[in-house]
Amino acid sequence: MKWSLKKKILLPTIALIVLVMGTSAGITYLVSTKTLNQDALDQLTLICKSRVEIIDVWIDDVKTLMGTAATRSAYQAVLRENTEDASKKANAELGELLKIAVGISYIHVANGQGQVPHHVESG
């Protein structure tokens, strides 16, 4: 089989072009995939860090709120006296506190030994 001069030049040139284009496409795919994966990972890391900061701020706010609430006389009275009347007052104040404390579903009033008066409930 005899090839003309045109085919002898054209076929290797086309093969070379296809090989170079395929290699270029493969390299582009690998580089762009790596870059996109790294970018996605960086964005997720940034989102996680911001969520952690938000949670830390929320925890600090709740600590401040609970520290302030602990000074209320109704809570101190229920721990000192542990009477039904003191419990009702503490429960009423706990209900009000839960309305303003976003994200808190229940609160316990406990003494220094960690004992909770049995008739003080919230939530």
Residues of the chain short of pLDDT 70, as ranges, are 1, 111, 113-115, 117-123
Comparing C-alpha atoms, which of 97, 105, 48 is closest to residue 72? 97
The pTM of the full predicted model, rounded to 2 decimals, is 0.58
**pLDDT attached to residue 54:** 95
Burial of 30 (0-12, 13-18, 19+ CB in 10 A): exposed
**pLDDT attached to residue 1:** 67
**pLDDT attached to residue 32:** 98
